[in-house]
Amino acid sequence: MDVKIQRAREDLSRMFDAAKGDDGSYAYLINRTMYIDSDNISPSMITMYSSKTNDTYTKISYQMYGTIDLWWLVCKMNGITNPFAPLQVGTVLKLLNADQVQKIVMVALDSSEKMYKNSTINQS
């Protein structure tokens, strides 16, 4: 796997805003951080997927992209705001093709690295 993609998977906190809960847990605020206009993406860049029994967003992410870490992309592409709600069997989901995901992750990582470097420089 590409080193930059691996680093992005290991440090999603630099790609998304995070909120700390009262119990000390963290949640990624993907709806405030990234916008994907899935209605205007070329059909050649998308695979349609019909959910099956016991599917979860992490399972679909693994089947499509080889990692569970891109569950958020499955949700964003389909306007899903509650990834904990059960996925109904037969739900048709739009999934970006894996080669397109690599491009998005690379852009997001490059952007987050620039923001991180700028914030580090400004704190000095």
Q: Virtual CA dihedral for 109, 110, 115, 118, nearest 10 degrees?
A: 140
pTM above 0.75, yes or no: no
- pLDDT of amino acid 10: 52
Distance, in Å, from the CA atom of 114 to the CA atom of 108, rounded to the nearest integer, reads 10
pLDDT, one tens digit for every residue, the chain (124 residues): 455 555 555 555 455 566 667 887 666 665 555 667 778 888 888 999 999 999 999 999 999 999 888 888 898 889 888 888 889 999 999 999 998 887 777 776 666 566 555 554 545 4
Q: What is the DSSP letter of 39?
A: G
Q: What is the DSSP letter of 78?
A: T
Beta strands in 1-124 (DSSP E): 18-20, 26-28, 46-50, 92-96
